[in-house]
Amino acid sequence: MRNDVAFGAELRVGVLGGGQLGRMMIQAAADWDLRVEVMDPAADAPCRHLTHRFVQGDLQDADAVFEFGKELDVITIEIEHVSVDGLRRLKAAGVEVHPDPEHLATIQDKGLQKQFFAAHGIPSAPFTLSDAPPTAFPVVQKLRKGGYDGKGVAILRSAEDSAFDGPCVLEQPVDIAKELSVIVARNPSGATATFPVVEAVFDPVANLVDYLIAPADVSPETAKEAEALALRVADAMGFTGLLAVELFLDREGVLWVNELAPRTHNSGHHTIEANHTSQFQQHLRAILDLPLGDASARSAGAMLNLVGAADAHGSPVYTGLGAALGAPGVYAHIYGKSAVKPFRKMGHVTVTGATVEAVKARVLELRNALRVDGTRVS
């Protein structure tokens, strides 16, 4: 366990990726006066004006990643599509790297993820690995590498549906009743903590999380089983940092692990206001080998993603936000992205309240009242 040297600007923490997850991590780090340095390919990354040092560079360039991180004490990620080889070199040079590069290599490849689940007896949908288009239907096709935020996944019902080219995972479809998520924190000393299970509701057009409810509307037994399953995954891997374990609950009441995200996650944004410790502070605690915080809920919570409208381009224009902020228990987070695109995540709104029913009702009202347009319409 790290001592008090973990606090203050003398400790240099690097983050690969400068999007909204990094932005909210920096905001949490400011409470401890941590020096956070960021690398991102975009000159106008949301983190740029908040970080102590910003480097514009290719996250998948091993040399660029090594040069960025070689003088840092600790390096972490806010997006998984980064150079594993660069992180391996940093680890060999004595920089603390979380998550471990080998764990990241497994998670970057959905085929290796599935093989990891099978090797450790973790329930996951039956699958095959293939370099060719599927011939049996229905099937869920996932590109092995590069998928993110719903991209790289297709449900194919017949040979007439458009399939991906390239190495992929072919999964037997699960009869899904609910999509759940559990975020696990694990530090290098082996201490663990889980956030309560949440339920995600997806937008079928954007294939993104529309809103989520915390805690999930499941039985106490299912919630306990989901949290235990997520811990089992983290412990089997020996993971350090924050791990989001995405789950399916089928109509027979069986839980299946869908995928892993080795970082802070969209399903944990509500924790900033609704939990005793936010996912962003918990991630910092984990990678710095500090005692983990209390991850339990202070209230019921709901989170609504604010995404660009289907025809939105140009500078973002937010409609309804001012009125929403007049309601009690409503908190807005705008990510600082200079341009809006169709279904691009531009911010989120969290609702807290005494009951799940109350926050769900409020978030559904906000869903109809809030909109992100652009100065140009396609």
Please answer whether residues 15 and 74 qualify as being in contact, where contact means their C-beta atoms are separated by less than 8 angstroms. no
Kindly tell me the burial class for residue 242, based on how many C-beta atoms sit within 10 Å of its own C-beta (0-12, 13-18, 19 or more): buried
Banded model confidence at residue 377, pLDDT cuts 50, 70, 90: low
3 pLDDT higher than 80:
no
Q: Which residues of 89-118 are buried (b: 16+ CB within 10 A; e: fewer)?
A: bbbeeebbbbbbbebbebbbbbbbbbebbe
Q: For the chain, what are the domain ranges?
A: 4-97, 126-171, 176-377
DSSP 178-242: EEEEEEEEE-TT--EEEPPPEEEEEETTTTEEEEEEES-SS-HHHHHHHHHHHHHHHHHHT--EE
Please answer whether residues 82 and 17 qualify as being in contact, where contact means their C-beta atoms are separated by less than 8 angstroms. yes
Q: Which residues neighbour 377 within 8 Å (Cβ) at sequence distance 6 or greater?
A: 311, 312, 313
Banded model confidence at residue 217, pLDDT cuts 50, 70, 90: very high
4 pLDDT higher than 70:
no
CA–CA separation, 260 and 270 (whole Å):
19
Q: What is the pLDDT of residue 95?
A: 98
pTM of structure: 0.96
Question: What fold is seen in the domain 4-97?
Answer: Rossmann fold (3.40.50)
Q: Which helix (H) or strand (E) holds 271?
A: helix 271-274
In this prediction, residues 13-17 reach a mean pLDDT of: 98
Tell me: the pLDDT tens digits for 253-263?
999 999 999 99
Tell me: the pLDDT tens digits for 112-146?
999 999 999 999 999 999 999 899 999 999 999 98
Task: Tell me what the pLDDT averaged over the chain comes to.
Answer: 96
Please answer whether residues 108 and 242 qualify as being in contact, where contact means their C-beta atoms are separated by less than 8 angstroms. no
278 pLDDT higher than 60:
yes
Tell me: the pLDDT tens digits for 61-114?
999 999 999 999 999 999 999 999 999 999 999 999 999 999 999 999 999 999
Q: What is the pLDDT of residue 147?
A: 81
Write the CATH number of the domain with boundaries 176-377: 3.30.470.20
